[in-house]
Each structure stands twice: as C-alpha cells, then as structure tokens.
Chains A and B, each alone.
Chain A
Amino acid sequence: GNSVTQMEGPVTLSEEAFLTINCTYTATGYPSLFWYVQYPGEGLQLLLKATKADDKGSNKGFEATYRKETTSFHLEKGSVQVSDSAVYFCALRGSARQLTFGSGTQLTVLP
C-alpha cells in the first residue's frame, strides 16, 4: 500500500534560517503529492501541491519538487519566520481518493 515517511521532529530554527523537511513516499503509479500545514488549534491547510513528476509546488515562500527518481517531495524555505511555527504534514493521493499522511514534523522558529 501507499506510505509516506517524514523527517522526525521537532525542528527548532532561528528566524531567517533555511528550512528543509524531508519527505519520501512509496506508492504505485503516479500519485499527487502535498504539503499541509497545521497551526496550533486549527485544522490542516493545504500549503502546496504537485501532481506529476518534476512539478514544483510553491506558496508563501515554501517550495517542494516532485522527484520520481528518488520518490521524494522535500519541503524547503529560504528564510523562515516566527509565524511559520506549525506542524507540517507530507501527504500523497494515489489511485484511490483518500490521502495518506506522514506523521508530521513540528517546526518552531525562534526570534
């Protein structure tokens, strides 16, 4: 079946530091890939997506590239802010309609 493996957290960075959160997946066929973000006390919000190999999703300074050869979809941001503190989830959607999630990575950005 499908699975998503995410970098273990928590991750603590200083403001303006570079962020990478690793995500790799196992799936048959050609899944769509997502990053969702969850702020404290809230639901999940779609951060970015990529639906085919070599696509780059981007939003709010975050980027992730769909790498089929390495089955990866790593999240990056060049300069994090305190307001980026949240839990980040990598997810995929295969031939079935439901999403499969990684375990989440807690990010804390210190001023």
Chain B
Amino acid sequence: DAGITQSPRYKITETGRQVTLMCHQTWSHSYMFWYRQDLGHGLRLIYYSAAADITDKGEVPDGYVVSRSKTENFPLTLESATRSQTSVYFCASSEEGKAEAFFGQGTRLTVV
C-alpha cells in the first residue's frame, strides 16, 4: 500500500528492554521524522533525517537511537525503555521542496 506505515500499532514492554518501532514510506520522500505525543505537550520531535545515512537530534532525543540505511525506512529504537517513554509515537515524511509533512497512524507504546 502506498503511504507511510508504522508497526507495531500497539506495544507493551518492560522497563529496561530494548524496543524498536518501525516506519516505512513508499513515496521516496527525502525527510523523515519521529515525534512523540503526550498530553499537554502536543508533538515533540525526537529525531529527523534529511536523507539516507543523515540523521539529527530533535527536541527530546535522550534514550532513543535512529538509523536510516534506506530512504524508505526510519526505525526508532529505545535502547533501555523507561516508564517516561510511555507515549504515542508518530513517524512522518516530507518531500524535498514541499512544506507539509505526512504522518503514519502512530504506535502506542506502554512501558511497565
């Protein structure tokens, strides 16, 4: 299917475990982003990527790792999950030269 897809949609993990959230887009957009959504904070940028093998920190990068070996994929890894990382995570992509970004359906992550 065309578009941007995230997996899994829901995930429960234990404190201290490593977990990876997947993001795949079929548009070949240059830019990809990871946001987390928490009540009262709107969406906050975790990491973004301008192209394959180019990534940069956003507003709240601590505790997260990203990679982008292929243009279409942008996985987000929590190296050692903490309860404060319980959140809804959104991946987005944006085409070079265009202002708007397009979002995936989100992954609801609960760390217990």
Contact = CB atoms under 8 A, between A and B. Distances in A.
Decide if A and B are genuine partners.
yes
Interface of A: 4, 6, 32, 34, 36, 42-46, 49, 51, 89, 93, 97-104
B100 A98 contact: no
B102 A46 contact: yes
Interface in B54-110: 58, 90, 92, 94, 99-106
Contact of B105 (A42, A51, A101): A42
20 contacts: A32-B100, A42-B105, A42-B106, A43-B90, A43-B103, A43-B105, A43-B106, A44-B92, A44-B103, A45-B103, A46-B102, A97-B48, A97-B50, A98-B48, A99-B33, A99-B43, A99-B92, A99-B101, A100-B45, A101-B42
A97 B54 CA distance: 13
Contacts of A32: 99-100
Interface of B: 31, 33, 35, 40-45, 48, 50, 58, 90, 92, 94, 99-106
A104 B42 contact: yes
A57 B101 CA distance: 16
B43 A89 contact: yes
A48 B42 CA distance: 18
Contacts, number: 52
Given A43-B105, A44-B90, A98-B58, A49 B42 contact: no
A46 B100 contact: yes
Contacts of A104: 42
B75 to A, nearest CB: 17
Contacts of A100: 45
B104 A103 contact: no
A38 B43 CA distance: 12
A93 B92 CA distance: 14
A101 B106 contact: no
Nearest to B102: A46
Contacts of A36: 103
B42 A102 contact: yes
A101 B44 CA distance: 7
A42 B104 CA distance: 8
